[in-house]
């Protein structure tokens, strides 16, 4: 995972005066790298799990970094220090929250792993526009993080729950082997985001 984090930080194109919001402090590894690059005063990191956040705070303190660490729901961002020049998510998400776009200044970048319940993922790099929208592209390669808790797959239950009375069998034009390939799984997931395995 360290290689993916370094690649993501390179893709984020950080500059000396940038402020960054990190979604998912985790171990504090990427937080420390950003503190080293920008100075801790320019880094805000939010973690949903209080125990994970406490461990990361201890590690960062032992490295003599004191970024703004927040315990809370990263999907809501952190408006208290907005606007940010960059936002990086080190958790997988199904969709980009509107709050993130609102909290990144126009021209700023959002870098996040888009994932879903088929476990395909793609790294999306978006530029925020002045009209409250963001546009971008998927970067080459793959890699991912565990999904944000609110975006994790629901329990499937029993198959009989999902079959309605009178449901007709249909012939599929593409076989299940498409899910054996990372790209096939990712594209299928984009086409039918509510499907889970």
Asked whether residue 87 is assigned to any structural domain, the reply reads yes
Asked whether residue 177 is assigned to any structural domain, the reply reads no
Output the pLDDT for position 2: 58
- Single pTM value for the model: 0.80
Output the pLDDT for position 178: 72
Asked whether residue 134 is assigned to any structural domain, the reply reads yes
Residue 115 pairs in a beta bridge with 121
Q: 121-128 and 134-138: which strand pairing? A: antiparallel
CATH number, domain at 130? 3.40.50.150
Asked whether residue 86 is assigned to any structural domain, the reply reads yes
Asked whether residue 84 is assigned to any structural domain, the reply reads yes
Q: Give DSSP secondary structure letters for the chain.
A: -HHHHHHHHHHTT--TT--EEEE--TTSHHHHHHHHHH-GGGEEEEES-HHHHHHHHHHHHHTT---EEEES-GGG--GGG--EEEEEEEEEESS--HHHHHHEEEEEEEEEEEE-TT--EEEEEEEE-TTS-EEEEEPSS----PBPGGGSPPP---GGGTPPTTPPP---SS-GGGGGSHHHHHHHHHHSTT---
The structure tokens 């198959």 sit at: 159
**What domain range is 6 assigned to?**
2-151
Asked whether residue 36 is assigned to any structural domain, the reply reads yes
- How many domains are there within the chain? 1
Residues in the chain with pLDDT values less than 70: 1-2, 116-120, 141-168, 182-186, 188-197
Output the pLDDT for position 92: 81
Tens of pLDDT, residue by residue over 134-151, are 999 988 866 666 655 555
Asked whether residue 168 is assigned to any structural domain, the reply reads no
Distance from C-alpha of 115 to C-alpha of 122, rounded to nearest angstrom: 7
Asked whether residue 163 is assigned to any structural domain, the reply reads no
């Amino acid at each position: 995972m360290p290689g993916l984090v370094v690649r993501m930080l390179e893709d984020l194109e950080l500059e000396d005066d940038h402020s960054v919001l990190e979604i998912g402090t985790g171990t504090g590894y990427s937080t420390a790298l950003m503190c080293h690059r920008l100075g801790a005063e320019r880094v805000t990191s939010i973690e949903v799990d209080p125990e994970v956040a406490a461990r990361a705070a201890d590690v960062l303190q032992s490295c003599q970094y004191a970024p703004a660490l927040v315990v809370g729901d990263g999907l809501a961002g952190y408006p208290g220090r907005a606007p940010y020049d960059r936002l990086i998510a080190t958790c997988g998400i199904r969709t980009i929250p509107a709050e993130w776009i609102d909290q990144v200044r126009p021209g700023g970048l959002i870098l996040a792993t888009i994932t879903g319940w088929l476990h395909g993922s793609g790294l999306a790099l978006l530029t925020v526009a002045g009209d409250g929208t963001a546009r971008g592209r998927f970067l080459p390669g793959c890699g991912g993080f565990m999904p944000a808790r609110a975006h994790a797959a629901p329990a499937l239950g029993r198959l009989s729950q999902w079959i309605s009375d009178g449901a007709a069998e249909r012939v599929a034009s593409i076989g299940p082997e498409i899910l054996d390939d990372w790209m096939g799984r990712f594209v299928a997931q984009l086409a039918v985001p509510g499907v889970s395995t």
